[in-house]
Structures are given as C-alpha cells and as structure tokens.
Amino acid sequence: MADHIPLYPVQSAAAAAAANRKRAAYYSAAGPGQGADRHSRYQLEDESAHLDEMPLMMSEEGFENDESDYHTLPRARITRRRRGIEWLVCGGWKSLCTSCCDWLIHVCQRKKELKARTVWLGCPEKCEEKHPRNAIKNQKYNVFTFIPGVLYEQFKFFLNLYFLVVSCSQFVPALKIGYLYTYWAPLGFVLAVTIMREAIDEFRRFRRDKEMNSQLYSKLTVRGKVQVKSSDIQVGDLIIVEKNQRIPSDMVFLRTSEKAGSCFIRTDQLDGETDWKLKVAVSCTQRLPALGDLFSINAYVYAQKPQLDIHSFEGTFTREDSDPPVHESLSIENTLWASTVVASGTVIGVVIYTGKETRSVMNTSNPKNKVGLLDLELNQLTKALFLALIALSAVMVALQGFVGPWYRNLFRFLLLFSYIIPISLRVNLDMGKAAYGWMIMRDEHIPGTVVRTSTIPEELGRLVYLMTDKTGTLTQNEMVFKRLHLGTVSYGTDTMDEIQNHVITSYSQTQSQASGNNASSTPPRKAQSSAPKVRRSVSSRIHEAVKAIALCHNVTPVYESRAAGAGETEYAEVDQDFSDENRTYQASSPDEVALVQWTESVGLTLVSRDLTSMQLKTPSGQILTYHVLQVFPFTSENKRMGIVVRDESTAEITFYMKGADVAMSTIVQYNDWLEEECGNMAREGLRTLVVAKKSLTEEQYQDFESRYSQAKLSLHDRALKVAAVVESLEREMELLCLTGVEDQLQADVRPTLEMLRNAGIKIWMLTGDKLETATCIAKSSHLVSRTQDIHVFRPVTNRGEAHLELNAFRRKHDCALVIAGDSLEVCLKYYEHEFVELACQCPAVVCCRCSPTQKAHIVKLLQQHTGRRTCAVGDGGNDVSMIQAADCGIGIEGKAVFSSVFYFASVPLYQGFLMVGYATIYTMFPVFSLVLDQDVKPETALLYPELYKDLTKGRSLSFKTFLIWVLISIYQGGILMYGALVLFESEFVHVVAISFTALILTELLMVALTIRTWHWLMVVAEFLSLGCYLASLAFLNEYFGIGRVSFGAFLDVAFITTVTFLWKVSAITVVSCLPLYILKYLKRKLSPPSYSKLTS
C-alpha cells in the first residue's frame, strides 16, 4: 500500500491526468506550428517545476523512488518544516525583528530606483538626474549617530541591559538600596572604555577615507587640465588617469597614449584575477587628432543602469555632429571600473557611475558590528542567572507571606541579589580582550600585525571554517617556468643551461647556413660527423619549441625611458638599441610573461611587438621579424589561443597554438605521453600548457582568410561560424612540447594549511580566478591532499542540470569540490540547503570565478546552516565583503566567572564601596592576570594542532561548567557566611570584616587554583590585590562596621591583629578552598585533559 503513495502529493493523480489531457488537447489543436513549440516549452517548464515534487537524491534513470535517497538530508528538510510556535521559539523572533528593522531602514532611506542614463562628454551639468557623490565612506556612524549607535550596540545584549536597568532603578526613591556610585561607577567605566575604543576605530576609518577621497586627478575642461579631488568627480567629467594610478570611478574608455588604441589594467582589487585585462578605447574618440578635440564634438554615452555584474556592460556611443551620426556599441572591453589600476600608458575616460553606484561599491556589503561567540554564550548564561535570581526573589517574598506591597519587595530583592550577576565580569572581559589584542600586535612571530577590532580576539580560538582568497593570499602571484617536456626528454630548472646551449648552437648553424652561399652543405656534414642523429633531433625539437613559445602569446615588450618623466613609455623600433635593463613585459596573464621571460633566459628574446609584427633577438644579436597575420585569443570556453605568423626572411607561414591539455589533446597528432605527463605535472602543482604548430602553404592560408573574413561579417550566428572556420585549422597539429609553470606560493603555505587541517579547520578557497588555475593552486598548496580525489562540478544553467549534478556529487566520498561561480549561483537558487549540506562534508572546497558578493554570500550561508564560527582571509578590495561578513576577518597588509551568595540583613551587609571594590580593585587584577595563563606552550600547540579541536567544541564555557561554578559559589558562600556566624557568635559586630576578609582570600586562592602556567605578573597581581585590601582595612575601616557610619559601628583595628581572628579566618578559607583543591588533583590524576598527556 505504501508503495503507491506519492512522495509529495500536491494534487490527486486523477486531477493531474485530467489537467494534462486538457493541456495536450489544447496544444494539439494549435497544429504543428507555434502552438507545438509552445507545448514543448511548456512540457520542459512543467518537468522543471515537477522537480519540486521529487527528492533531490533520486537517481538519473527516471528519478525512481529510492527510500534511502529520500532520507539522506533530514536536517535540511526539518529546518524548512518548522512552522508556527516552534519556529517562533527556535529563533524565528530574531528573524522577525531583523526583518522589521530592515523594513524600517528601507522606508527611512527610501532608496531611489536606479535607471539607465545619457552622459554627455565633458558636460556634467546636462545630467538629467542627481547622482551620488564620488566619495568613499567606510565609517559606521556620523556625528549625530555615534553615541546612540554605540549605546545601542552595547545595550542590545541582555548582560549590559540588565546592568543599565538595575542602575537606573536607583533613581526611584522607593527602590533605592545603596549609593548611586555603587551601580554607576562600574557601568560608567565599561561604557567609557567602549566609547573610547569605538571612537578611536571610527577616527581611523575617517582618516583612511579622507586620504582616499583627497587623491588628486587631472580633469579635462575647455580651458585645459585642472586638478580635482577624487570625491569631487561628477558624472560626465573627462578624467585623465596616469600609469599605476587608481581609477577613481566607473568610466567609458575614450582615448589612450598607447599607439594601438588599447591599454592594460590590473583588476586584482576588484575581482581577484591576476590577469591584466586588455581595454580598448572608443575608436571614434581615439581617432581624434588632439586631446582638446573631445570638446569640439557633440557626443554622448548611453549607459545601462548601475548593476552588480562586473563582467558585463551594455551601452552605446553616439556622435551627433557628423554626417551621418556615428553609433558605436560599447561592451565590457570599453569600460574602466573603479578600484582598478592602469598598467600601461595614460587613459582618458568619461565618468558614467560615481560613489555608491560604482561596481566596486555595489559589490561591497555594509560593515557589521562583529560579536564574539564568547559574548553570545555569556549573554545566554546571564539570562539563566537572571531566571535563578527571579526564582530566589520570589522565594524570599513567599517566605514573608506576600504581605504589604509585595511586588515592591520583589523588586528590592531583585536589586539585593543583583550582585549574583557580577559587573566585574564585564570589566574583566573587556580588559582581557584589549590585552589579547595588544599581545597579537606585539607578537614577534607576526610583526606588523594591526588589530582593527579589539572586541573579538578570542574568536581565533573557536574557528571551524576558514575562507581564503588565492591571489596574494596563498600565492605571491609570481610565475616561474619550471619544466619543459618534449616527449622523450624532460628539462627542469637544473638543466636549463642545456636548452640554452641547444638554442645557441641551433641559431649559429642557421646563421652560418644563411651567410654561406656555396658552403651551405658543409655545416650539416660537420654536425653529422660530430654528433649523433638523436642529439641533432633533440636540438632541432628544442629549437622549434622555444621559437613557438616565443611567438605564441599576447605579450608586448615596453621600454621605460630612464630620462623621460614618470609614466612615459615608448615602443621599441627596429633600429633602436633593445637594452635589456629598460625592458618590461605587459600581458593579460602572468603565465604568458613567465613563458616569454624564460625564452629570453635561454637566448631568444622578444624585443618588439605591435598589431602587425613582432621581432625576436637571437643569442648572437640577430633580429628576426615575423608578421602577425591572425590572433585567436584565449577564452574560458575554448581554453586555448593561437597565432598565425609569416617569417619575413623565408616567407613561411606557421600556425602556432597553445592551451590546456583537455582542449589540445584532440587537436594534436596521436601520442602516447601527453596525458601521463600532464598528470605528473599537475600533481606537482604546475600549470601546464600544450604547445603545437602547423605549417601552412600560401594557398591554404588565403583560403582560410577568405572564409574567416566571411564568417566575421555574418549577421546570424557569427560566433559559431567564426569558431567553425578556426577549428578547420586545428587538425592534426604537430605536438611540440609541454610546459609547466609554477605560481610561487607564499612562504610556509603548505605546512600552515596542513596544520590547520589537522586542527579540524575546514578550508574553502574563494577566488575570482579561472577554474584550471584555482584547481592547480589547490593541489600545489596541499589544500587538497595528494590522496584525495577532486570532483569538478560540471557547468549547470538550469534546475534540471543542477539536480542531476548534485546527485552525481552526492555519490562521491571524501573528495574535494571545485565549482564555478555561475554553477554555484544556480545551485543556491534551487537547492541551497542540500548544496551547503553536501559541501560541508567535503574536506576542502574551491569556488572559482566568484564575485565579491558571492564570497560574502557563501560566508553567510555557512554561518546560517552550520552555526559555526567562520574566518575570512584576503588581501584585495574584492575580499572586503567576505572579510566583513565573517565572524573573524583577517586582511593581509578566559574564564572570569566568580559568583557568590551573600547573607542579607535588613540593611546591605557590604556597603557601596566594598561592592565597587570587590567588582574592580580587589578582584580585577588576579582575574585579569588569567589572560597570561597557558594550558600548553605555543611550541606544543604548533606541534600538535589537533589540540585546537577541543577549543571549537566550546567545553570550557558550557552550561555544564557554568553549573559547576554556580555550585562551587553556593558552597563557598555558605561556608563563608555560616562559618563566620558559627565562629564569631559573640563578636557579631565584626562579621563584615570576618566574612569579607575570608571572601577576598578565597577569591585569590580560587584564581591560583585555576592557573595552569604561572607568570611573574600573576604573582604581582595576587599580592597587589591583597595589599589593596589590607590598606582598605586600615584607612576605610568605617565601611567594615554593621550598618551605616552614623550608627557608630566602626571596625576595631586592634581586633583584626589578634591571633584568634587570623586563625579563624584562615580556617574558614581553608574549609571553602581545600576540598576544591583535592577534587582538582583527583580529576587530573584520574581523568587528565588531552594536553596534559603531551606535557607530562
């Protein structure tokens, strides 16, 4: 019977069948034309919608009902099923309050709708709408919101709110039971420290923002160039940006000083990619004779509305004063986004987006106030103490028989018991955190570290998930050529000199053959007699491989003129002296630069390049010229790039190509070594490129060029037709070599990641770089261990594909996950719970092609679904959102609970100053000194990182340990008070001095009991507190009498010096502490902690 029950009965089977029959009849009546197409589309949509009614973990073959699959992810499903009262109790009220606050903020701010815009060149006054200022603002508050904001952040926690209510109650005469300073002095101290700390942090943020907003840029006007601050730039301004200068706002690229009409920009602070991006100026403005002609034309840019996507842009450039008007489409290659840096030449652009509407700011989340897990746990424990306090007060009122105004008595008892929740806890916690922050900044092993947020240093001991960027964080972004493999022979860094000798020999022979007209056959015969055939074959293969690597790229050599001004560059001409010390290489990828630098090191140097030709210099100094006929750029789809060149000296036409092994393996001729060697290099963490060539006759090239030109002029399916023509060349190419390039890792990355993994921390790498690059770094950095498999999540674009791919991923065990940002977006849209549940089971996760907002979204998902503490590490502007979202952000550039139960008489037993002193002076120093305590030495912690797992479990501060300390405090409080009453029955007037002295001594001994590793400052703190108390006995003796000073009850100093007083106080103290020392000793012997086993 159960077999016939549908998993998710949305509608009855009969009703569904009837609806399907009606639908089919309707579309069949429409005929085979448009209606049929609509029917098929409807069916696809219906099937996609039907996935809602299926469990995720069904198999691909028809999605048959598998009971075990259905129950795979119960936790995710239970989370979604919570409704009503259960949802409200289990945290729904927090979501409700947050939603209400967000709604109120949204209503107050009244965010205006973003619209497309028309921007006239150099005419900001023509803008139809008012646009935001181009100011960077990272401050949390302003002058008016600082005090209210800081107070709200403090009093939104129950612990602080409790102290505030208790303090305010003393302004009510009927409830006043002590001096005002008794309550307000500790609270004021805590608030003063907090406000001062926030003010310092806010001032630092203000100073950094001011520095960025005050950067000067050249603005082009009708009267010439004027200097303008970054914050004063407006939409429509023409801004000049020099080389190595940050782009201040989103602009459309109009002109450049580069001859080619293009420039390179660095985008690592925006998207995390290390590749330089080639940007192309608008051809209409680039062709203008002079810079000032930009004001002589009547032109405007139509730009789409501001949006998050940093990889796309749609717009048009229109010049109206020409006949006919010039219309030029604009794409992402014509844009210069804010926070990127100009890498070559000088650029001029027109500003289209400013301030909050720029891509970089829209991809940055608002900073949040981070709260440590310790604060949250203490907040919960405070609530538990408060409930106990209410119960105790109710019992006291009940014992009085609820006579008179019992509700007022209930509140007075609440105030009398208020010291059960000690404000010294808040004082010591804040001071301890400040001390930990100071220790981090003074740590000699991490010099230069700055603690920006001093409220969460303890979070470093509770981390479970570590999110890290790749570029600049794990890697140095410095590429080094490591390996050249020719199939039969492999060359590494220690044998590069052999390659250099082969290249020198090869080109010297070629030069001698070219110079000797009659004796051209002599050198080969000499070579034949002096070297074996195999050696000559290897030499020629090395020659071809090095030449191919030196020609197949998009690198441009640039010569910095030492005599010229900063930022000025000049391209090398053929008759120029190509001096090595002035040459630098520019390219869209650091891999390409590494390859060209390697060919230079072995003797073949790229000395000049423009759009139509390039020149190579041989070891002997000869210049070889090649004409560039075609260039096929690298894309993420084809994973390869190609170039067709003609040798000027021989007129030979050669097609060179290089790319990833997955793309090139089907293009090159059959071989039996490529796949194996690619795997070997990948395991070493090297980025591999396969290099191949194909010689073309003049007729073959002319035929290709005509077909290629026709395909580029096609109006329909242009991209497909162009790709088909190019693929006609990519057949049976000669495999030349396999190269291996290493991205230099940061120092000690491998042992660090290994140590973190052993400590139980799961590491996720979130990068904007390509999938292949990210996978390679994950292997080389040992983020993924050698024995682990890697599951590369196939690209998915819709719900059905995501459904099937998640099923395939579910069947893998103990494998790392690699997923692209686009596929991640689809999975999170439809299967958020299931995907996070599966990903959290992986030992490592790599998310590539991630936007800044995606990085922050992933961090928030982990926090919501796992409830664990997260840490984000990054070095660029694209990592800011991730760092702000994490519980603990790293940018690359204790136990103090002591409760006591007091004896309550009709008047306060311990008067105001004693309670203030106990909360601060008498107890603060010893408890505060616990920040110096170490359960294990740092060397041991690094040697055994598995010890870190104990911290993440949170056993040091749980309800169990909390209850143990409460029981201890009840025991000690009872011993102190009743012991004083029993031993001093005839001297009750001295009970305050007796009990309080025993209390102070007990507190000092309990701190000593807690300490694991003694520090000399701890001893000083113990004796300093004791000394302060003894001084109080001598100079503040009026506070130790029963009742108030006016009653005439003073402490007899002579009494506390008697032997009887001393031994009886000592006896009470020993009875309250000795059993605890014995229990601690027995526990360490019978059930020692894990760290003690290592240190014994």
Contact 181, 914 (CB under 8 A): no
Tokens representing 180 are 């005002």
Cα–Cα dist 377/397, whole Å: 31
Among 144, 104, 334, 342, smallest CA distance to 243 is for: 342
Q: Are strands 556-560 and 623-632 parallel, antiparallel or unpaired?
A: unpaired
Distances (CA, A) of 39 to 34, 62, 179: 9, 21, 82
Cα–Cα dist 524/770, whole Å: 47
Cα–Cα dist 76/60, whole Å: 22
**Hunting for tokens 């009840």 — which residue is that?**
970
Annotated catalytic residue 672:
no
Distances (CA, A) of 171 to 143, 410, 557: 29, 17, 78
Give the burial string for 301-331 (b: 16+ CB within 10 Å, else e).
bbbbebeeebeebebebbbeeeeeebebebe
DSSP structure class, residue 293: G
Contact 346, 924 (CB under 8 A): no
SS3 734: strand
User: Which residues, other chains included, contact 89 with Cβ-Cβ below 8 Å and sequence gap of 6+?
Assistant: none
Q: How many alpha carbons fall within 13 Å on the CB side of residue 678?
A: 19
Cα–Cα dist 27/23, whole Å: 6
Q: Distance between the two ends of the chain, CA-based, in angstroms?
A: 64
The amino acid at 160: N
Dmax of the chain from CA atoms? 132
Neighbours of 962 (CB within 10 A): 18
Look at the alpha carbons of 1085, 1090, 1091, 1094 in this order and tell me if their dihedral is positive or negative.
Answer: positive
The amino acid at 932: L
Q: Per the residue annotation, which of 250, 375, 469, 591 is the catalytic one? A: 469
In sequence order, which ranges of 82-128 are alpha helices (DSSP H)?
84-87, 93-109
Distances (CA, A) of 607 to 283, 547, 576, 579: 27, 14, 10, 9
Q: How many alpha carbons fall within 13 Å on the CB side of residue 708?
A: 16
Which residues are part of the catalytic machinery?
469
